[in-house]
A and B are shown apart, each in its own frame.
Chain A
Amino acid sequence: MGKNIFEIKNLRKRFPARGLPTWLRQSLCRMGFLVREERNQLDRYYRLEIDELEIPSGIVALQGPSGSGKSTLLNILAALDTGYTGNVTLVRRGGRKTLPRSVTDADAFRRDHFSFVFQSSNLLSNLKVARNATLSRAIAGQADLGCVDLLDRFFEQQGAIIGDRYPSELSGGQRQRVALCRALTKARDGAQVLFADEPTASLDRAAADNCFELLEEWVRDGPDRLLLLATHDLAQARKADHFIEIGPVESDDPPSKCASTSGESGTRSARHGVRFQGDRDEYLQRQEKESARQPAEGDRDAQGRSV
Chain B
Amino acid sequence: MSSVMAGCCGTVRRLRFLLHYCWMDARRPRELLDLLLRLCLILFLFVVLMAAAAVTVATPRLAKKIIEDNKLLRLVKLESTGSFPISESRMQEFTSLHELGGEIVPTAGKHATGRSLVAGVSPNRWTPLLLYRSDGQVNRRWTDAVHQVYSESHPGLPSGDQLFPFWGIRPLEPLEAGEVPRIVVTTRLLASLGFDIEEFEKWISTDDPRAALKVRGQEGWDLRLTVERIDEFPDQHVSILIPTRLARMVEAQDPRLVADRRYRRYELSPAPASASTEIEGLQKAINAVHGGGISIRVGTALSTGDSSTALHCELTRGLEVETWSGVGKQIEAYLGASFEKTNTFQEVICGSQVDDRWLPELRANMATVFVREYSDIPEILAYLEQRRDSLKVRVLNATNLEFVRTVLLSTAFAERVISCIALMFLLSCLTGIGYSALALIQRKIGEVGILRAFGAKKSFIAGRFVLEFTAICLLAACTAWNLLNNLILPWANARLIELSPAFRDETLILRCGVESVGAAVLIWLVTVVVVLLVITKHIRECPSTLLSMRD
Contact = CB atoms under 8 A, between A and B. Distances in A.
Contact of B450 (A122, A131, A166): A122
B99 interface: no
Contacts of B540: 103
Interface residue tally on A, bucketed by range:
20 to 34
Nearest to A182: B454
Contacts of B31: 126
A82 interface: yes
B458 A80 contact: no
B21 A110 contact: no
Contacts of A136: 454-455
Given A122-B550, A124-B450, A126-B24, A75 B455 contact: no
Interface string A93-132: 0000000000110011011100010101011111110010
A147 to B, nearest CB: 15
Nearest to B18: A138
Nearest to A186: B454
Interface string B332-375: 00000000000000000000000000000000000000000000
Nearest to B545: A81
B454 A110 contact: yes
B551 interface: yes
Contacts of B456: 107, 111, 139
A2 interface: no
A83 B541 CA distance: 9
A186 B460 CA distance: 18
A12 B551 CA distance: 25
Contact of A141 (B14, B451, B550, B551): B14
A127 B447 CA distance: 11
A122 B542 contact: no
Interface in B354-406: none
A77 to B, nearest CB: 11
Contact of A107 (B21, B447, B455, B547): B455
Given A107-B457, A126-B28, A138-B14, A75 B451 contact: no
A142 interface: yes
A270 interface: no
A202 B183 CA distance: 99
Interface string A121-162: 011111110010001101111111000000000000000000
Nearest to A135: B454
Contacts of A120: 551
B544 A80 contact: yes
Interface in B137-162: none
Contacts of A108: 455
Interface stretch (B5-13, B83-91, B302-310): B5-13
Contacts of A127: 21, 24
A81 B458 contact: no
Contacts of B455: 107-108, 110-112, 136, 139-140
A81 B542 contact: yes
A179 to B, nearest CB: 10
Contact of A80 (B13, B21, B542): B542
**Residue with the greatest number of chain A CB neighbours at <10 A, chosen from B21, B28, B450, B453:** B453
A81 B449 CA distance: 12
Interface in B402-420: none
Given A80-B453, A110-B454, A139-B455, A122 B547 contact: yes
B549 to A, nearest CB: 12
Contacts of B458: 104, 107
A126 B14 CA distance: 17
B65 interface: no
Given A122-B446, A138-B14, A139-B14, A83 B542 contact: yes
A140 B455 CA distance: 8
A117 to B, nearest CB: 11
B453 A116 contact: yes
B542 A139 contact: no
A50 to B, nearest CB: 17
B451 to A, nearest CB: 7
Contacts of A118: 453, 547
A142 B450 contact: no
Contacts of B10: 140-142
Contacts of B449: 122
Contacts of A103: 539-540, 542
B251 to A, nearest CB: 78
A125 B24 CA distance: 10
A108 to B, nearest CB: 6
A114 B508 CA distance: 59
Interface string B450-469: 11111111101000000000
20 contacts: A80-B543, A81-B542, A83-B542, A103-B542, A110-B454, A110-B455, A111-B456, A116-B454, A122-B449, A122-B453, A124-B450, A126-B28, A128-B24, A135-B450, A139-B14, A139-B456, A140-B455, A141-B13, A142-B10, A166-B28
Q: Which 10 A-B pairs have the closest CB atoms?
A: A111-B455, A141-B10, A138-B17, A126-B25, A75-B544, A80-B544, A81-B544, A139-B456, A80-B543, A81-B542
Given A82-B542, A103-B542, A110-B453, 20 more contacts: A80-B543, A81-B543, A104-B458, A107-B456, A107-B457, A110-B455, A116-B454, A118-B547, A123-B450, A126-B28, A127-B21, A128-B24, A131-B20, A135-B454, A138-B14, A139-B454, A139-B455, A139-B460, A141-B13, A186-B454
